[in-house]
Amino acid sequence: MKFFKQKTNIVFLFVIFLLVASLSGVSYFAYEKHSDYVEITAGIERNNSALDEAQKKIDELTAQIADYSSKATQNEQEKAELNSQLQAALAEKARLEQENNNLKSQIEQLVQKRRDELQAQIALNNVDQADTAGSGICYLTFDDGPSDNTLKILDILDAYGIKGTFFVVGNGKTQYMSQIVNRGHAIGLHTATHKYDVIYKDINSYLHDVKQISDIVYNATGVRSNIMRFPGGSSNVVSAKYCQGIMSDLTVRMPSLGYSYYDWNVNSGDADAVAVPAQTIVNRVLSGAKGKSSICVLMHDNAAKTTTVEALPAIIEGLDAMGFRFAPLTADVYGFYQPVSN
């Protein structure tokens, strides 16, 4: 062929060949490059979305940590506040203990003072009792009522035109309480239950019992009585079985609460047995009254004590013959105190 026979043409063809070969090489590499790009871009996108997830998780955890920190701060503050409250409570406890000790020593002093006063009064009373017989007043007192004997006792007192004093209990016979008051006699508080183990258990039990009988009397009669007699008297020692020193406290406490309490200086002895013969009771009272200028006679108003009722007219007549006049107890009358022994 004429064309291939010319040297320049062969060179030309060779050049063309080189051109074509180099172009296809470039496009091959370009293609390779493009496919990497797509893959990497997809990778970046995957990573971005994972990054978003990771960021979300980081935000959540950061918020939770912040929450815990704020709670921890709050707890620390609460703990500090509780600690300061604890310190204040401890200080208050120490202060109250100190105050209690002071008050206890004040009570000790009062009790001692009261004992001294009582001893002085008892001594004075003994001197008084040595005076001329029959110049004074007789206070007839009846404990443990009302009972089915109350009206009989009232009838006898009324027949002689004299007044007595009834230290009553809470036994349900309130209908007789109004009779006592309406007929002009004195009504005093003895006890609601008359159970030594209950009332002398502690101060609060005793005060509770007094409130009970006070309310019973008030509801039955409209009278808020301020005169009282301790079960067993203020000198009783049976209370020591239940509470050491309770009478020393109560003999100071009750007057400070506005009550006058009464013991006695003549014991009728009507409680020495279920039924003491009437004449024995009369003799005991009249001999007990001998040599005393003023007397407070202890008797009992109880359904079983029929001989007390029987003895009463002779007691009144005998004391009257000795020169005694009769009166109901009032809060200003001296209490005929016996020495406190518990």
- What's the Cα-to-Cα distance from 178 to each of 93, 103, 186, 216, rounded to whole Å? 49, 41, 11, 11
Peptide bond into 146 cis (omega under 30): yes
Q: What's the closest the beta carbon of residue 173 comes to Zn ion, in angstroms?
A: 15
Q: Of 143 and 249, which CB lies nearer to Zn ion in the complex structure?
A: 143
Q: What's the closest the beta carbon of residue 191 comes to Zn ion, in angstroms?
A: 7
**Which residues, in sequence order, are bridge partners of residue 295?**
138
Would residue 69 be called left, alpha or beta, if left means φ above 0 and alpha means ψ between -120 and 50 degrees? Answer: alpha
- What's the Cα-to-Cα distance from 342 to each of 111, 249, 263, 298, rounded to whole Å? 11, 9, 15, 21
Helix (H, G, I), strand (E, B) or coil at 335: coil
Q: Of 189 and 319, which CB lies nearer to Zn ion in the complex structure?
A: 189
Q: What's the closest the beta carbon of residue 109 comes to Zn ion, in angstroms?
A: 31
Q: What's the closest the beta carbon of residue 317 comes to Zn ion, in angstroms?
A: 26
For residue 340, what is the DSSP state?
A: P
* Spatial CB neighbours of 199, under 8 Å, sequence gap ≥ 6: 191, 193, 205, 206, 209, 231
Q: What's the closest the beta carbon of residue 141 comes to Zn ion, in angstroms?
A: 11
Q: What's the closest the beta carbon of residue 235 comes to Zn ion, in angstroms?
A: 14
Q: Of 144 and 249, which CB lies nearer to Zn ion in the complex structure?
A: 144
Would residue 139 be called left, alpha or beta, if left means φ above 0 and alpha means ψ between -120 and 50 degrees? Answer: beta
Q: What's the closest the beta carbon of residue 130 comes to Zn ion, in angstroms?
A: 29
Q: Of 115 and 194, which CB lies nearer to Zn ion in the complex structure?
A: 194
Q: Of 191 and 221, which CB lies nearer to Zn ion in the complex structure?
A: 191
* Spatial CB neighbours of 60, under 8 Å, sequence gap ≥ 6: none
Q: Of 134 and 170, which CB lies nearer to Zn ion in the complex structure?
A: 170
Residues at the site binding Zn ion, with contacts judged by CB under 5 A: 143-144, 231
Q: Of 191 and 294, which CB lies nearer to Zn ion in the complex structure?
A: 191
| CA gap 165, 307 in Å, rounded | 19
